[in-house]
Amino acid sequence: MNLPLPDLGIPSGDTVIKLSTLLPLAVVIAHLVPYLTDPFNQRSIPGPFLAKFSDIWLGWVSSLSHRSDVVHELHKKYGPLVRLAPNHVSVADPDALQVVYAHGNGSLKSDFYDAFVSIHRGLFNTRDRVQHTRKRKIVSHIFSPKSVLEFEPIARSYMVQLFQQWDRLYDSALEGNSGDDGEGGWYGRDGMLWFDCLPWYNYLAFDIIGDLAFGSPFGMIMSAKDSAPVAVSHKDAMGSYGSEHECEVIHIPAVQILNRRGEYSASMGVLPPHWRPYARLLPWYRQGSKAVENLAGIAVAAVAKRLTTPTDRVDLLSKLQEGRDDEGRPMGKEELTAEALTQLIAGSDTTSNSSCAISYYIALHPHVQEKLQKELDEASGTEDDGVFTYEQVKRLPYLEAVVNEGLRVHSTSSLGLPRVAPEGGLTIKGVHFPQGTVLSVPTYTIHRDTQAWGEDADQFRPERWFERDHTAMQKAFNPFSYGPRACVGRNLASMELLIIISSIFRRYHFVLAEPDKPLDTREGFLRKPLECRVGIKRRRIWRLV
Ligand code: HEM
């Protein structure tokens, strides 16, 4: 007797065959229809074949960590307009910076920035214009030139710590000692200390910004370790934000986590929002998402501590606490935490990677180092302590040219920052892009534009800043971006870079361990050096106070 089979919800063979035919068909149609209907007028724009149909191409390139180099090669091949995704055109033309990013053109940040959100949106990843304007008003006065000067003593105090540590290693290396600092080790040879200076620039930048943004340094320079306190919930991490009583404080490698977070968010951000929950199921993305969470914990611990132990010191956090919007309202605890986190993220490895790359290029070009050191020696007073003041170095022409040239050749923000064309669209190079088109101008390529920078645009040569048309160069110089979303911390960053580079190169002479080896980099959201092994020789003992 044939009994009817119970319905277990298992698809029959026929259904499986149908699904396996229909699913790929649906995927093909979903990619082909936008290509054929061409809602953003991009079909005529050249680019990699797969990029015309799918965001996967850009997601894949981003995950390989050299996006700016790849996009640069595409511009060499196809010209100033390149299609990077079904709805994303890269425009390699300095004039386009004004069109895409300038004040008043109405473009907004794209959904790329949603992948950078944790706890609460901060200034950097707020896409809504009204909310951004409100936040920017509160935050921008904190970074005015006058305000930034109040932070100078804190920044200089960490330079003193850095010199104490380098001098200690130097003296020890010259006595024949060596050590394993977990970063390839340090040792003495030919009267020099040989080590990787990159981690030290990270410790320096994190200690400065940790102190400024949270009121307590991470102590990385003195411990010579990538380690920052973070709040961990006894319940679940996201649920803990805002309730410090349920948190325990542990130490985590913040630099490493920030690197991981940048790579995760930059490659997640180029995927369409509806794919992202599925991408998060993959182990690489799951770990990246954890990194975003851990990093937020650093801000939670620090802000909670500050709120329970008020202080009268002047720092970024106290200024954020004092800030009021147009209706006189202060920031709530969550917003305060998110903004402190934003400043930690935006103001730490940007500065350290830039300092490291500038140092690399100075060391690579002995004549630049010699000329710079001459200018720095002449600017030194007899009563100086070991660290220059901003006043002493803010108008040294060669130093400025060296720093600018370093920021040009190695712009840590290299990739084209995506913006959405506003109502009415935007017209660039005679092509009209309707509302909703995603456009970006790749800083890496603009910084190598031969019309602006000369035929030797690939070379590090500070002298070009005295030889060429300044207006054309400034128009193509984009390390801090343009317009309403340009770097709000630029004054602080410039002060830090001038003090760091001037004080370090007055005190030490640098030699590259492998001068023939290019600076290896890895790009997530930022383009970062991977290491910078150098030999340093102390030029003169400046008294440290
Ligand atoms: C050499 C160092 C630095 C470089 C090269 C740099 C570069 C940039 C760039 C290119 C942007 C635009 C990002 C985008 O549109 O996606 C930006 C935004 C921002 N930067 Fe910086 N930055 C540096 C240092 C700092 C410092 C020290 C701070 C603060 C402590 C800071 C805070 C910010 C913030 C909050 C934003 C978001 C602004 C907004 O969207 O309104 N940056 N930075």
- Residues 166-187: tens digit of each pLDDT: 999 999 999 999 998 766 799 9
Task: Choose from 32-36, 106-110, 268-272, 378-382 the range with maximum mean pLDDT.
Answer: 106-110
- Mean of pLDDT over the chain: 89
Q: What average pLDDT does the segment 391-415 reach?
A: 97
State whether the beta carbon of 124 lies less than 6 angstroms from ligand 1.
yes
Q: Is 210 in the pocket of ligand 1 (CB under 6 A)?
A: no
Q: In this structure, is residue 59 part of a structural domain?
A: no
Flag whether pLDDT at 38 surpasses 80. no
Per-residue model confidence (pLDDT) at position 428: 94
In a domain? residue 15: no
Higher pLDDT, 14 or 243: 14
In angstroms, the Cα distances linking 137 to 123, 191, 321, 323, 510 are: 10, 52, 14, 9, 42
Higher pLDDT: 286 or 61? It is: 61
Q: Of 403, 480, 487, which is best to mutate to test ligand 1, by the most ligand atoms within 8 angstroms of its C-beta?
A: 487
- What single string gives the DSSP state of each residue in 49-116? TGGGT-THHHHHHHHTT-HHHHHHHHHHHH-SEEEEETTEEEE--HHHHHHHHSTTS--EE-GGGGGG
For CA atoms 131, 293, 336, 208, the dihedral sign is: negative
Sorted by sequence, the CB contacts under 8 Å of residue 102 that are 6+ apart come out as 482, 483
Rounded mean pLDDT of 338-342?
Answer: 91
Give me 326's structure tokens: 């147009």
Confidence of residue 535 (pLDDT cuts 50, 70, 90): very high
C-alpha dihedral, 3 to 8 to 12 to 13, nearest 10° = -100
* pTM for the full predicted model: 0.92
Asked whether 410 lines ligand 1 (CB < 6 A), one says no
Q: For ligand 1, pick from 125, 130, 350 the residue to mutate: most ligand atoms within 8 Å of CB.
A: 350
Does residue 498 have its Cβ closer than 6 Å to ligand 1?
Answer: no
Whether residue 2 is predicted with pLDDT greater than 70 in this model: the reply is no
Q: Does residue 33 belong to any structural domain of this protein?
A: no
At residue 476, what is the residue type?
A
The confidence score (pLDDT) of residue 12 equals: 67
- Name every residue whose Cβ is closer than 8 Å to that of residue 10 and which is 6 or more positions away in sequence: none
Over range 189-212, report the average pLDDT: 95
In the prediction, which pLDDT does 22 show?
A: 73
469 in any annotated domain: no
Band (pLDDT 50/70/90 cuts) for residue 545 is low
Domain count, the chain: 1
Handedness of CA 491, 497, 502, 503 (dihedral sign): positive
Q: Whose CA is nearest to atom 16 of ligand 1?
A: 417
* Amino acid 244: pLDDT: 46
- The 10 Å CB-count burial string (b at 16+, else e) for 19-51 is eeeeeeeeeeeebeebeeeeebebeebebbeeb
Domain with 236, as residue range(s), is 123-413+479-538
Could you read off the pLDDT of 456-512 as tens digits, one per residue? 999 999 999 999 999 999 999 999 999 999 999 999 999 999 999 999 999 999 999
* pLDDT at 471 (0 to 100): 93
User: What is the predicted pLDDT for the residue at 359?
Assistant: 98
Q: Which residues pair with 186 in a beta bridge?
A: 179
Sign of CA dihedral 171, 174, 179, 181: positive
Q: For residue 501, how far is its CA from the centre of ligand 1 (angstroms)? A: 19
257: enclosing H helix or E strand? helix 254-269
Q: Atom 27 in ligand 1: which residue has the minimum CA distance?
A: 347
pLDDT given at position 218? 87
The 10s digit of each residue's pLDDT in 266-303 is 989 999 998 898 888 888 888 888 777 778 888 887 78
Residue 382 covered by a domain: yes
Size of the chain, expressed as the number of residues it contains:
545
| Ligand 1 centre distance from Cα of residue 213 (Å) | 14
- The more confidently predicted of residues 445 and 384 is 445
* Predicted pLDDT at 455: 97
CA of 124 to the centre of ligand 1 (A): 8
Q: What is the pLDDT of residue 15?
A: 67
Task: Dump pLDDT digits (tens) for 214-258.
Answer: 877 789 999 999 988 776 654 443 344 444 455 667 788 889 988
Mean pLDDT of 301-314: 80
Residue written as token pair 């370090």: 504
Would you place residue 304 in the very low, low, confident or very high pLDDT band (cuts 50, 70, 90)?
confident
Q: What CATH number does the domain containing 277 carry?
A: 1.10.630.10
What confidence tier does 119 reach under pLDDT thresholds 50, 70, 90? Answer: confident
Query: Is residue 80 in a domain?
Result: no
Domain assignment of residue 72, yes or no: no
Tens-place pLDDT, residues 125-149:
999 999 999 999 989 989 999 999 9
Ligand 1 proximity of 352 Cβ (cutoff 6 Å): no
In a domain, 533, yes or no: yes
Beta bridge mates, 248: 232
